[in-house]
Chain A
């Protein structure tokens, strides 16, 4: 359509005026929101899948994150004010607990499983070794109330924090008033843990074209892809499924064999001895390994995969033929796994305890 220039100009003027009106209207009709710090956002690393949890009902703000950080390191979350989340989830251990095969809780009680690392939580579809919690926001209720971990009630945590003057300005800033509620506590904790993204390893830089792998690391990558990548799927290095890797069935700290995912409803026999596939990121920091921390070195882990009993109950079919590597392949694989360690993450000051 050809129009005289003056008409075109008029249309342009009208169009721009209308768009101005419409945009003003949109702004004026929007409900007031807490203004978020523009530099503080959850960013999905390039090439990564969409996360399972994306803060849709829990908009990210620095204030909520900082509240979550304080809560994470607050021992008041346990019944005798002796254990915080950070006790068994240490930053230098990529938020696992170094050198502890199983966790120690209140009154020197011991748990039955190895403290799992915390990072890239938003991509997890379930939580704990057996997937008992279905959402990052309700996950902390389990350790808070567990008899052997923190032994507290969420009701009493609300009471304690309501009486703690230090929290008043923090809740005020995070939520607009000083009211402490379980939902506010849990959403703040989800912000702190959900923001823990580990995506700055050498491998990540390599994928972004900012670093190159050595020849040995390259060979290790090929071994990894051939032998490990189905369950430990990149870029999270887990497919978050539940599998049995054929670990010998030994008695745990309770004197029983841990039945894994079969310990939670529907208590199905098909879930016996299955545990969640852990990520292979940050292995340098998260030792010991496996759900009960039975292996202290990656060498031992690889020894296990080379010696699996093919008749183990519920053994994952993918491991039926074991993982048998030559000494060179093994060294190459270990070199590759080393590129998945994210030092920037374990030293990131945002996640450290506030002194």
Chain B
């Protein structure tokens, strides 16, 4: 091997070595700062705080009722800047359960620093995750939000009682499901944030969200519990309620 060739081999080996040791690092472009924000959820009945079992409330039709279970999904959370660019939460599925305090607060992570003015969410679980087999986390079927008799997630659920219920046991039971077709209860909603949300590397802003359970029962259709008290499958009645329910969430305030 002559000297020139040897040099070539040496340089190749060095190059190879460098490539081997550097290849697994991501490109070292200066990374934009990222921060977090906390989503804090309060469940209400109009202006009253929702209290399971003991609280009594009045729907728009004048029916009184109490609630012993209130659960719903918020998924595909997206924060949008003025220029239209956005942050999408990774694997964004949150089951809010009034009985589980921890479920009413969660953190959005790795949000690029900047000012966000809108938030987009899917109320319910997107159709893809209704047709993709066994899921885990907040989509685990053990959480009681899955229809095994007709594959698909229950997007939102109210269980309670009302003296006006047409049911002999005076039960009210609303399970909204259906992820495709004309009666789908999956709703994509966009909210203008009441104040701009500033994300910085060090800040810990809070997005205060409220769900108003009364909104399930008026808006698009006025619901009376005499006729509507057990909606547990997909159809015209569940769709009517879901057209009301799509207004149940609102962004109340941003705490910097």
Contacts and interface: CB of A to CB of B under 8 A. Distances in A.
B140 A25 contact: no
Interface in A129-188: 132-138, 141-142, 144-146, 153-155, 158, 181-183, 186-187
Please list the 5 inter-chain residue pairs (A to B) with the smallest Cβ-Cβ separation, ordered nearest first.
A137-B133, A141-B148, A186-B134, A137-B134, A265-B234
Interface of A: 10, 14, 17, 20-21, 24-25, 28-29, 53, 57-58, 132-138, 141-142, 144-146, 153-155, 158, 181-183, 186-187, 190, 264-267
Chain B interface size range: 20 to 34
A226 to B, nearest CB: 36
B22 to A, nearest CB: 10
Query: Which among A17, A28, A136, A266 has the greatest number of chain B C-beta atoms within 10 A?
Result: A266
Contact of A266 (B135, B136, B144, B235): B235
B183 interface: yes
Interface of B: 8, 12, 16, 19-20, 23-24, 130-136, 140-142, 144, 146, 148-152, 178, 181-183, 233-235
Contacts, number: 95
A252 to B, nearest CB: 17
B3 to A, nearest CB: 15
B53 to A, nearest CB: 22
A154 B141 contact: yes
Contacts of A158: 142
Contacts of A146: 148-149
B119 to A, nearest CB: 29
B141 A182 contact: yes
Contact of B134 (A10, A28, A138): A138
Contact of A181 (B19, B130, B132, B136): B136
Contacts of B12: 14, 17
B134 A183 contact: yes
Given A17-B16, A25-B19, A266-B183, A190 B148 contact: no
A190 B234 contact: no
9 contacts: A21-B20, A133-B148, A134-B151, A135-B132, A137-B133, A141-B148, A181-B140, A264-B150, A265-B234
Contacts of B181: 266
B133 A132 contact: no
Contact of B136 (A138, A183, A190, A264): A183
A138 B151 contact: yes
Contacts of A135: 131-134, 151
Contacts of A20: 16
B133 A186 contact: yes
Contacts of B19: 21, 25
A95 B23 CA distance: 51
Given A141-B141, A266-B181, A190 B24 contact: no
A187 B135 CA distance: 10
B133 A28 contact: no
Contact of B148 (A53, A57, A58, A142): A142
Contacts of B135: 183
Query: Which among A10, A138, A158 has the greatest number of chain B C-beta atoms within 10 A?
Result: A138
Given A154-B141, A155-B142, A183-B140, A57 B132 contact: yes
Given A133-B151, A266-B234, 14 more contacts: A14-B12, A53-B133, A134-B131, A138-B133, A138-B146, A138-B151, A144-B148, A154-B142, A181-B136, A182-B134, A183-B135, A186-B134, A190-B134, A267-B233
Contacts of B182: 266
B14 to A, nearest CB: 12
Contact of B133 (A29, A57, A266): A57
Nearest to B144: A155
A134 B130 CA distance: 9
A29 to B, nearest CB: 5
A28 B141 contact: no
Nearest to A24: B20
A182 B178 CA distance: 22
A10 B12 CA distance: 11
B88 to A, nearest CB: 21
Contacts of B144: 155
Contact of B150 (A132, A137, A181, A183): A132
Contacts of A57: 132-133
Contacts of A132: 149-151
B12 to A, nearest CB: 6
A267 B144 CA distance: 23
Nearest to A188: B134
A136 B151 CA distance: 11
A168 B87 CA distance: 40
A51 B140 CA distance: 26
A17 B10 CA distance: 12
Given A138-B151, A144-B148, A265-B150, A25 B23 contact: yes
Given A146-B149, A183-B135, A265 B235 contact: yes
A10 B24 CA distance: 28
A28 B23 contact: yes
Contacts of A154: 141-142, 148
Nearest to A155: B142
A108 to B, nearest CB: 22
Nearest to A159: B142
B206 to A, nearest CB: 32
A85 B154 CA distance: 26
